[in-house]
Structure formats: structure tokens, C-alpha cells
């Protein structure tokens, strides 16, 4: 047997990482309250929780990027180094983030051995040694990857291997995998699990963060659930049922989603306004596989899924921001020209984009101008914008949405987040669209604005607009008349009418097998 | 060779020796394609030059070309280092003019338009390099630590420094430079100008440094993925500021070279130089986004531009059209470099 590089695989059952009674607050928000967690050598410990539960903060504390307000962190047998001593942290714990930390213009070998001199202390690099050490790391851990390839030529999966190899070659025996399967295909996920099992057998301790609960049952031994910054559960995976896991994530009270208008399923006979059939989008843009659905006038369909499940991509595809591989989209029986945003918007589809800063509004223009940006053609004669009409329309919208500003000319960039979002929604509604596509319209806004935005969208629906609401916020879904659940690019479930069970919806979003029937009907496999 | 088959990329069929060798040579060819893309163009230029004027392909002429572009080459090395980290420095051209101006102004006699301190010329040379160091430190600190946009900040520095250069001598030219001051630009060693030796040596050192030194590799990591470099424990800010300083010192040295060649420092030394510098670097395959390109490429860029200028002059094309012709040829070279380089990017 070869000499293992930098320690190689070792087996012991020690604790590789531990947090004890950790507290952390960011300003007003208490991100973590008294959280304890330990990861043993040779085990895979799952960390789950809804968005904002405190997972990222805990990871930042465990990797030494953030100092806890109270409580302590122990890595292996050593006391934790000071935050400035990055090199020591790296020897003890490594995190593979969702965002790639590979330098594309360098080779695999160099990425693995990044910033470590090999040879003498003068910083001169011995290329032969770099390559052979990297190759040795790959061999020791059973990764098969040519170390001479450039990182930019690698697949997402192979880049992940490079990052894991880098972490292990430094000597870290505590590995944090942050949603490692989010951008992998099925076969690649299987190979990742195989690697995880091999790492466990070699005595590496893994903290595994994922939204997909079924993965946890496959590779993890223990699971810890965070909710609102507190640990609500820590259990052996084999001894906990999926329902209990979901319940721990959502909260104990099994409340139903409260419905305001309890919108009836009307216009059943009417022809659907928007028909999407067999939509496919390439994996690189966020996978969408064979998605079909229809929306009738006066309907509000909630398209629900985790980030990366393809829900936002479907919305982008309908608006024309994303090119389809295949599939057909019909608006009132007419084909929508995919990949042409302008054309789509002119046909009466309005869009509230996911990232309002990037695509939503123009920060240096006034409230009035932003609101009327899409309807200037209607407000002008022979190309000259009528100011009185412009102001009237804008003032009406400001009124309808209760936008708080010092006047129509105040720059939108100066408004609060909630009011900015109101401007974005107001602009979309200004055209009186036949179809409204809204992607996470209430993200990052305060409770009052949220209420108002949802009511405005609900009103538009009652006025006959067909609404597609993409969101993973259960609050948003109360205005929906129907829910479609997406997991990993596929439609998996449909909830035909309110009320639906909060638990069931969440379980479906997380990709779990159905736990009950109720109002549920299984989406046929087309 | 490998004991497991977790994954086996399709382009790696067997682990036979021949296969490995072939794959290895493919890597080498692929990695160098961008850098060596200009070699055929340079050969073509040599042939064209020989037809245009019989005195082109002579040792005297080629040495002249080398001497005239030695200073440019040094500034290209400097700019390349900064570009590789993903930053910019437009003010190198003003450092190239101001540094020798300050040095010469302090030591040259009154009748040579200097202050007449009669200091040792080596003090003057030290001052030249010191000015470079100071300018580089200011640029690096403002861009990296305070987060100014590199383009705008160094543009402002370019104007400011050029203004100082004109201001301290009221637009006059400094003559009567001491011998030690002009040695670098005016003398020859073993039949080759000292400036060519120096620039060649610095190109070589820079190339070796980028390839074989830890900091050199860190520069590629920083330019390729800043966050990843930071996560790997590389002192990103420290290295970037250091590169700004080194680059400005190199630019000052280049300015000293030019001063020696023309045996004077003019108030306009360095004007418009930066455009040629960027052209040479980009033609040579240095990416403006950082992290990609090699010194060898930058060198071929410099050689190509120098040959083109020389051929245009020898071809007795009307002087007023030389700029237009140079611009056109840069465009063509860029297009060529892109066509050849795309299968990598």
C-alpha cells in the first residue's frame, strides 16, 4: 500500500466537529438560539430546515467565518483557532459550497493543491510534485479524474470532486456539503452517494445539508432539524418517520392554509387562456422536463418548488427569457414565440421577475415613469407622451397599491423594498394583462406590503386575469385556486382546490412520497 | 494505473501508455495554442517585410526594432501582471513619463533645464524607481483597499501625473543627462542594446515567476476566481497591491530606458503609449477579465506590433497614414487571435 498523502484515510470514532450552545444574532434578528450539534468520524449527519432556519449561519460558525455570540465550537480534539488563522481552519474543516470555488483557468492538479507550496520554502513550485501529489490524492480517495485537465472543461460533478479532493488533501476530516445535489443529474447523484459512503468508511465526518429529505434517508445516519434558529430535533435517521421530520421543519400546529376568498373553481367550461405542453429546458438553465399545464381566465395557479426545482425557469420560459429545447406554449390558441420577451409582453403577458433589482425596475427613474414604462405607447400621440394622462394613470396605480413615496418623481431606488416591489407589480398590472406571471412577488417585503400585494394580485385574478404565481412561500399560496408542485424539474403533484394541508404541500415540495390523500390527486405520469 | 472507476470521462478511453502520451500532448497543444497563435503571423510579417524593403531583414534593422520596442515591452510586462489579477492600470503611461522626468529634473544642471543639484546620477535613478513605487502604492491602495473602480481611478491618475510631468518643467525638455542615467537606453553589450537585454531578461523572469512561483500561480487564481482564491487562503489584497507596485516600478524603469535612448526627457514622454500596451497584451492573448494568458503571448504581441510599425515606416507609406494602418492591423490581429483562441475559451 502506498503512503497516504497528508494523512490519507484514517479510522476513528472521534467527534470531528461540534457546536455547543451556540447563539448568534445579526442586528435585530436572532439567527441561532442555543444550537448544539456534533458530527462523528465516519458518519453523515444531515442538517435540514426551511429557508431562513439558520443553516447558513451555523455553517459559517462551524467553518470559522463568523464568531458566535455565545457557545463554543470544537473541531476534532483541538481548540478552535482564531478567526484570522484561515490555514488552521482549513486543516480542520472544509465546506463544499453550492457556488463553485474552482478556478476555471487552472488545471485540476493546481486547483487541488491551490496555494500550497510543494518543494522548498521559497515558493518555487515543483510541477512534477504538484501533479503527482494531486494524482495521489485522487487515487487514495478513489476519484478518477485526469489531473492535467483544465477546470473549465469539467462538468459540474467533476468540479465538485475537485473541491472535495482539495478539502481532503489539506487534511480536513470534517466535510460540510452544502446542497451538493442541487445541480447534479440523477446518475451523478448516485456517484456522489457512492463517494460519500467511501469517505465515511475512511473515517471522514460529513455534515450534509439538503432540501431533499429522501437523500437523507439514503446516506445519513443522524439528522438535526433547525427551525427559526433553534434546534427542534436531533435523531437517528432510521428511527424517525418522514412525517415527523416534515412536522419538525414546519412547526407543530397542523394548521390549514387560511383562505381569504376561498375562490371557487369557476369558468370550468371556458377555454384555458394559457396552455403549456411538454415543456423542456436544457439542464444548464435549470432543468425543466416535460412540464404541461393550463391556466384559465380567473384562475390563480401556484407553481411551487424549492429553489432550483425549475419553477422560476418555467416562468422565464413562458415570458421568453429562456429558450426551450422543445414544447409548445399557446396563448388563447395562438403560439407564443419562445425566446422573444418583447413579443410575449406585447401579446398581453405581464411579468413580475424574481430578481427585482436586476430586471424589475430602473432605480434612477421616478415612480411614475417606472409604473408607466410598458404602456408609454398607449399614453402618447404620435410618439409624444401625454403628461396629464401619464400622471393620471400613475397616480391611480400609486393609489391602488398604496405606494408610499414623496411623489411621482421620486427615484424608485430610494424607496423601501416593499414599495419597490409594489412598483414592479403595479407596472405589470398597468397593461391590464390577460396573463400575469409573478415570480416570488413577496420576497423580502414587510407583512403589510405582502398582504397588499397578494390582495392586488387576487383582485386582478377576479377581474379575469389568468395568474401564474411562482413561490415557495406558503403564505403566498392562499390566493391560489390550484397548486402545482415541481421537484427537480418535473411536475409531481397537483392540488385541485383549497383547502390543502400545509404538511402535505411541504412534504411534496421536499420530494417525499405522498403521505395522505385528502384533496390530493396524483399527477399522471405523462 | 487507477484502481477505481467511479467515473470515466468519455474522452479518456484506455490507460495505455500511447493514450496517455497522446492525451498529454493534446493538453500541451491546447494550452499553448493561444500563446503561439501569432508565430505564423510573425513569420508572415518577416517575409512580407523582406519583400517591402531589402534593408528590413538585416541584423542592424532588427536590432533597431528591438531597441525601440524594449521600453514598450517592459510596460507590457507590467500591464500583463495587473491584467492577470483582473484589474487595470491606465496610469502606467504617465508613470513612464513622470518618473524619469522627476529623476532627471532633480539632478540635471541648470542649463539642461534641471534644478542643478549635481547629485550623483545613481540617486537620480533611485528617485525614478521610487516615484514608480509611490505611484503604484497609491493606485493599489485606492483600487484594492478602498474599492475604487480601477478604470476611472487610474484614468484620473493618468491625467494628474501627466499634468505634473508637464508642470514641473513648464513644458520644456530636459537635456544633458549624465551617462549613468542614459546607460540603460543608449549603450550596447556584446553587440546587443542593454535595453533589449534587460527587457528580455525581465520577460523571462516574469514568465518563470508566473509559472513556477507560488505568488505567480496565486495571480492566476485571483484573476480566475477571486472568491475561490480567498477561500484557499491566498492573501488576495496583499498580492494585488504588490502587483500594482511592481508594475509601476517596471513602468518607471521603462521610462528611464526611453530617456536614455533619446538622451532627453520630454514633457510629452508616454503620451498615448497605453493604447499600444493594451493592444500588444490583448493581441498576445491576455484576457481583460483576468486569469488567462501568458507572458510568452504578451511577448509575441509586442514583437508583432513592433514589426508592423517598422514595415510600415520602411514601406514609405505616407507618414500621415501610418496610424490608420497600424490601427487596421491591430484590428486584424485581434480578429485572428480571437479566431485561433476561441476553441479554448
- For chain A, how far is it from start to end, CA to CA, in angstroms? 52
pLDDT at A440 > cutoff 50: yes
Q: Which whole number is the average pLDDT over A505-519?
A: 62
C-alpha span between A443 and A427 (Å, rounded): 17
What is the dihedral angle through the alpha carbons of B325, B327, B333, B335, rounded to the nearest 10 degrees? -120
pLDDT at B51 > cutoff 50: yes
Radius of gyration of chain A (CA): 26
For position B14, what pLDDT does the model report? 40
Bridge-based pairing state of the strands A230-236 and A70-75? unpaired
Share of chain A above pLDDT 90, in %: 2
C-alpha span between A492 and A504 (Å, rounded): 13
Q: Which residues share a beta bridge with A349?
A: A435
- Given an 8 Å threshold on Cβ–Cβ distance, is A115 in contact with B234? yes
- Given an 8 Å threshold on Cβ–Cβ distance, is A127 in contact with B212? yes
DSSP code for A153:
G
pLDDT at A71 > cutoff 90: no
Q: What number of helices (H) and strands (E) belong to chain A?
A: 15, 23
Confidence of residue A5 (pLDDT cuts 50, 70, 90): very low
Would the ipTM clear 0.90, i.e. be above it?
no
A85 in reach of chain B (CB within 8 A): no
- Given an 8 Å threshold on Cβ–Cβ distance, is A114 in contact with B234? yes
Check: CB of residue B229 under 8 Å from CB of residue B86: no
pLDDT at A201 > cutoff 80: yes
A148 in reach of chain B (CB within 8 A): yes
For position A234, what pLDDT does the model report? 86
Distances, alpha carbon A187 to alpha carbons A181, A184, A291, in Å? 11, 8, 21
Q: Which whole number is the average pLDDT over B300-304?
A: 91
C-alpha span between A3 and A299 (Å, rounded): 66
3-state secondary structure of A29: strand
Q: How many CA atoms lie within 13 A of B277 on its CB side?
A: 30
Q: Which whole number is the average pLDDT over A256-281?
A: 64
For position A256, what pLDDT does the model report? 39
Chain B CB contacts of A105 under 8 Å are 220, 223-224, 291-292
Q: Which whole number is the average pLDDT over B248-270?
A: 92
Q: Identify the structural domains of chain B with CATH numbers, from first to last.
A: 37-339 (1.10.3470)
From A117-131, A222-236, A285-299, the region with the lowest mean pLDDT:
A117-131
- Given an 8 Å threshold on Cβ–Cβ distance, is B2 in contact with A139? yes
C-alpha span between A346 and A153 (Å, rounded): 40
Which one of B8, B225, B293, B344 would you mutate to disrupt binding with A, by most A Cβ within 10 Å of its Cβ? B225
For position B15, what pLDDT does the model report? 43
Neighbours of A480 (CB within 10 A): 28
What is the dihedral angle through the alpha carbons of B248, B250, B254, B259, rounded to the nearest 10 degrees? 70
A184 or A288, greater pLDDT? A288
C-alpha cell at A115: 496555494
pLDDT at A191 > cutoff 80: yes
Q: How many CA atoms lie within 13 A of A480 on its CB side?
A: 28
pLDDT at B345 > cutoff 50: no
A185 in reach of chain B (CB within 8 A): no
* Burial class of residue A78 in the structure, from the number of CB atoms within 10 Å of its CB (0-12 exposed, 13-18 middle, 19+ buried): exposed
- Cα A89 off chain centre by: 27
Check: CB of residue A165 under 8 Å from CB of residue A143: yes
- Given an 8 Å threshold on Cβ–Cβ distance, is A191 in contact with B212? no
Q: Identify the structural domains of chain A with CATH numbers, from first to last.
A: 5-100+172-250 (3.40.50.300), 274-522 (3.40.50.300)
B188-235 pLDDT, tens per residue?
888 889 999 999 999 999 999 988 888 888 898 888 888 778 777 788
C-alpha span between A134 and A439 (Å, rounded): 44
- Given an 8 Å threshold on Cβ–Cβ distance, is B27 in contact with A87? no
B175-179: Cβ within 8 A, 24+ apart = B175/B108, B175/B112, B175/B113, B175/B263, B175/B264, B176/B108, B176/B109, B176/B111, B176/B112, B176/B114, B177/B104, B177/B108, B177/B112, B177/B259, B177/B260, B177/B263, B177/B264, B177/B265, B178/B107, B178/B108, B178/B121, B178/B124, B179/B121
DSSP code for A24:
E
Instruction: Give, for A380, the enclosing helix (H) or strand (E).
Output: strand A380-381
Return mean pLDDT, chain A: 79
- Given an 8 Å threshold on Cβ–Cβ distance, is B31 in contact with A150? yes
pLDDT at A374 > cutoff 80: no
B130 or A140, greater pLDDT? B130
Q: Which whole number is the average pLDDT over A112-130?
A: 76
pLDDT at A13 > cutoff 70: no
Check: CB of residue A491 under 8 Å from CB of residue A523: yes
Neighbours of B120 (CB within 10 A): 12
For position A261, what pLDDT does the model report? 47
C-alpha span between A120 and B158 (Å, rounded): 41
For position B139, what pLDDT does the model report? 95
A126 to chain B: nearest residue by CA?
A: B212
Confidence of residue A207 (pLDDT cuts 50, 70, 90): very high
C-alpha span between A148 and B73 (Å, rounded): 31
pLDDT at B39 > cutoff 80: yes
C-alpha span between B307 and B61 (Å, rounded): 10
Q: How many CA atoms lie within 13 A of B114 on its CB side?
A: 24
pLDDT at A269 > cutoff 60: no
- Given an 8 Å threshold on Cβ–Cβ distance, is B214 in contact with A115? yes
Q: Where are the beta strands (DSSP E) in A216-348?
A: 222-227, 230-236, 274-281, 288-295, 300-304, 326-331, 334-335
B6 vs A102, A106, A194: nearest CB: A194
C-alpha cell at A137: 490524492
- Given an 8 Å threshold on Cβ–Cβ distance, is A117 in contact with B225? no
For position B72, what pLDDT does the model report? 94
Distances, alpha carbon A302 to alpha carbons A441, A486, A523, B26, in Å? 12, 10, 15, 51
A236-266 pLDDT, tens per residue?
888 888 778 877 877 654 443 444 444 444 4
A406-418 pLDDT, tens per residue?
888 888 877 777 7
From A518's Cα to the closest Cα of chain B, the distance in A is 44
A303-352 pLDDT, tens per residue?
988 877 888 888 888 888 888 888 888 888 888 776 677 777 778 888 88
B233 vs A90, A106, A149: nearest CB: A90
A194 in reach of chain B (CB within 8 A): yes
pLDDT at B77 > cutoff 60: yes
A127 or A82, greater pLDDT? A127
For position B3, what pLDDT does the model report? 38
Q: Which whole number is the average pLDDT over A43-52?
A: 83
Q: How many CA atoms lie within 13 A of A432 on its CB side?
A: 4
From A420's Cα to the closest Cα of chain B, the distance in A is 28
Most confident among A92-101, B21-30, B123-132 (mean pLDDT): B123-132
For position A118, what pLDDT does the model report? 63
pLDDT at A2 > cutoff 60: no
For position B189, what pLDDT does the model report? 87
C-alpha cell at A81: 483557532
- Cα A70 off chain centre by: 29
B85-95 pLDDT, tens per residue?
999 899 999 99
For position B33, what pLDDT does the model report? 64
Confidence of residue B4 (pLDDT cuts 50, 70, 90): very low
Distances, alpha carbon B117 to alpha carbons B106, B179, B258, in Å? 7, 16, 23
C-alpha span between A73 and A62 (Å, rounded): 7
B109-120 pLDDT, tens per residue?
877 777 777 788
Confidence of residue B142 (pLDDT cuts 50, 70, 90): very high
Q: Which residues contact A485 (CB under 8 A, 6 or more apart)?
A: A304, A305, A491, A492, A493, A494, A495, A505, A508, A509
Instruction: Give, for A316, the enclosing helix (H) or strand (E).
Output: helix A311-319
Residue contacts between A and B (CB atoms, under 8 Å): 93
Confidence of residue B22 (pLDDT cuts 50, 70, 90): low
Q: Which DSSP string do the residues of B149-191 spell out, in sequence order?
A: -HHHHHHHHHHHHHHHHHHHTTT--B----HHHHHHHH-EETT
A195 or A51, greater pLDDT? A195
- Given an 8 Å threshold on Cβ–Cβ distance, is A101 in contact with B228? yes
Amino acid at each position: 500500500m502506498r503512503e497516504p498523502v497528508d494523512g490519507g484515510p484514517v479510522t476513528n470514532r472521534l467527534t470531528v466537529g461540534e457546536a455547543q450552545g451556540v447563539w448568534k444574532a445579526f442586528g435585530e434578528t436572532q439567527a441561532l438560539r442555543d444550537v448544539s450539534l456534533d458530527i462523528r468520524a465516519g458518519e453523515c449527519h444531515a442538517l435540514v430546515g426551511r429557508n431562513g432556519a439558520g443553516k447558513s449561519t451555523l455553517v459559517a460558525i462551524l467553518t470559522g467565518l463568523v464568531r458566535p455570540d455565545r457557545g463554543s465550537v470544537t473541531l476534532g480534539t483541538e481548540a478552535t483557532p482564531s478567526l484570522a488563522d484561515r490555514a488552521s481552519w482549513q486543516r480542520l474543516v472544509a465546506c463544499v459550497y453550492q457556488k463553485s470555488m474552482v478556478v476555471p483557468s487552472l488545471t485540476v492538479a493546481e486547483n487541488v493543491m491551490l496555494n500550497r507550496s510543494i518543494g522548498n520554502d521559497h515558493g518555487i513550485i515543483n510541477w512534477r510534485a504538484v501533479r503527482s501529489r494531486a494524482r495521489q490524492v485522487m487515487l487514495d480517495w478513489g476519484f478518477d479524474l485526469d489531473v492535467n485537465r483544465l477546470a473549465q472543461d469539467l462538468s459540474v460533478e467533476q468540479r465538485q470532486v475537485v473541491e472535495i479532493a482539495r478539502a481532503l488533501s489539506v487534511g480536513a476530516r470534517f466535510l460540510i456539503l452544502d446542497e451538493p445535489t442541487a445541480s447534479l443529474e440523477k446518475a451523478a447523484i448516485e456517484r456522489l452517494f457512492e463517494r460519500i459512503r467511501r469517505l465515511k468508511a475512511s473515517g471522514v465526518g460529513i455534515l450534509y445539508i439538503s432540501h431533499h429529505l429522501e437523500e437523507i434517508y439514503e446516506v445519513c445516519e443522524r439528522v438535526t432539524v433547525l427551525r427559526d434558529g433553534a434546534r427542534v430535533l436531533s435523531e437517528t435517521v432510521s428511527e424517525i418517520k418522514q412525517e415527523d421530520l416534515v412536522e419538525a421543519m414546519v412547526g407543530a400546529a397542523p394548521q390549514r392554509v387560511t383562505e381569504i376568498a376561498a375562490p371557487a373553481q369557476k369558468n370550468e367550461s371556458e377555454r384555458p387562456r394559457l396552455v403549456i405542453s411538454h415543456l423542456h429546458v436544457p439542464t444548464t438553465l435549470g432543468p425543466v422536463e416535460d412540464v404541461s399545464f393550463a391556466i384559465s381566465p380567473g384562475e390563480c395557479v401556484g407553481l411551487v418548488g424549492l429553489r432550483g426545482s425549475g419553477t422560476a425557469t418555467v416562468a422565464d420560459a413562458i415570458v421568453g427569457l429562456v429558450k426551450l429545447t422543445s414544447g409548445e406554449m399557446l396563448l388563447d390558441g395562438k403560439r407564443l414565440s419562445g425566446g422573444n420577451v418583447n413579443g410575449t409582453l406585447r401579446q398581453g403577458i405581464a411579468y413580475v421577475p424574481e430578481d427585482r433589482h436586476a430586471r424589475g425596475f430602473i432605480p434612477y427613474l421616478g415612480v411614475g415613469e417606472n409604473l408607466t414604462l410598458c404602456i408609454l405607447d398607449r399614453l402618447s400621440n404620435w410618439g409624444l407622451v401625454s403628461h396629464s394622462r401619464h400622471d393620471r394613470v400613475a397616480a391611480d396605480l400609486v393609489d391602488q397599491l398604496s405606494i408610499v413615496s414623496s411623489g411621482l418623481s421620486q427615484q424608485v431606488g430610494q424607496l423601501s423594498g416593499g414599495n419597490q416591489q409594489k412598483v414592479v407589480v403595479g407596472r405589470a398590472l398597468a397593461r391590464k394583462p390577460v396573463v400575469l406571471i409573478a415570480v416570488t412577488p413577496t420576497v423580502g417585503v414587510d407583512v403589510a406590503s405582502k398582504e397588499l400585494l397578494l390582495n392586488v394580485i387576487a383582485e386582478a385574478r377576479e377581474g379575469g386575469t389568468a395568474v401564474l404565481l411562482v413561490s415557495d412561500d406558503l403564505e403566498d399560496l392562499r390566493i391560489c385556486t390550484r397548486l402545482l408542485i415541481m421537484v427537480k424539474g418535473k411536475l409531481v403533484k397537483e392540488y385541485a382546490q383549497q383547502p390543502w394541508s400545509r404538511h402535505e404541500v411541504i412534504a411534496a415540495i421536499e420530494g417525499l412520497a405522498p403521505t395522505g390523500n385528502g384533496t390530493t390527486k396524483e399527477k399522471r405520469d405523462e | 494505473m487507477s484502481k477505481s472507476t467511479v467515473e470515466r470521462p468519455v474522452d479518456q478511453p484506455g490507460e495505455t501508455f500511447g493514450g496517455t502520451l497522446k492525451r498529454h500532448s493534446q493538453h500541451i497543444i491546447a494550452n499553448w495554442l493561444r500563446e503561439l497563435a501569432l508565430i505564423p503571423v510573425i513569420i508572415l510579417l518577416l517575409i512580407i517585410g523582406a519583400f517591402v524593403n531589402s534593408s528590413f531583414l538585416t541584423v542592424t534593422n532588427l536590432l533597431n526594432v528591438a531597441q525601440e520596442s524594449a521600453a514598450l515591452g517592459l510596460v507590457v510586462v507590467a500591464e500583463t501582471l495587473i491584467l492577470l489579477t483582473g484589474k487595470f492600470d491606465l496610469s502606467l503611461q504617465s508613470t513612464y513619463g513622470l518618473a524619469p522626468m522627476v529623476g532627471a529634473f532633480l539632478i540635471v544642471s541648470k542649463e539642461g533645464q534641471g534644478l542643478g543639484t549635481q547629485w550623483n546620477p545613481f540617486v537620480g535613478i533611485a528617485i525614478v524607481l521610487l516615484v514608480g513605487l509611490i505611484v503604484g502604492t497609491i493606485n493599489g491602495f485606492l483600487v484594492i483597499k478602498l474599492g475604487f473602480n480601477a478604470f476611472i481611478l487610474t484614468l484620473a491618475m493618468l491625467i494628474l501625473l501627466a499634468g505634473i510631468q508637464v508642470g514641473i518643467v513648464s513644458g520644456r525638455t530636459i537635456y544633458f543627462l549624465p551617462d549613468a542615467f542614459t546607460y540603460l537606453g543608449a549603450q550596447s553589450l556584446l553587440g546587443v542594446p542593454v535595453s533589449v537585454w534587460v527587457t528580455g531578461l525581465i520577460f523571462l523572469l516574469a514568465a518563470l515567476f508566473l509559472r513556477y512561483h507560488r505568488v505567480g500561480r496565486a495571480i492566476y487564481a485571483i484573476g480566475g476566481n477571486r472568491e475561490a482564491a480567498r477561500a484557499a487562503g491566498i492573501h488576495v489584497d496583499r498580492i494585488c497591491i504588490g502587483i500594482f507596485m511592481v508594475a509601476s516600478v517596471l513602468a518607471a524603469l521603462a521610462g528611464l530606458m526611453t530617456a536614455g535612448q533619446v538622451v532627453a526627457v520630454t514633457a510629452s514622454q508616454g503620451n498615448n503609449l497605453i493604447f499600444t500596451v493594451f493592444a500588444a497584451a490583448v493581441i498576445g492573448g491576455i484576457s481583460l477579465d483576468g486569469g488567462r494568458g501568458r507572458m510568452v503571448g504578451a511577448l509575441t504581441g509586442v514583437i508583432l506590433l513592433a514589426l508592423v510599425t517598422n514595415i510600415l515606416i520602411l514601406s514609405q507609406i505616407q507618414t500621415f497614414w501610418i496610424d490608420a494602418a497600424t490601427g487596421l492591423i491591430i484590428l486584424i490581429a485581434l480578429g485572428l487571435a480571437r479566431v485561433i483562441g476561441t476553441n479554448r475559451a
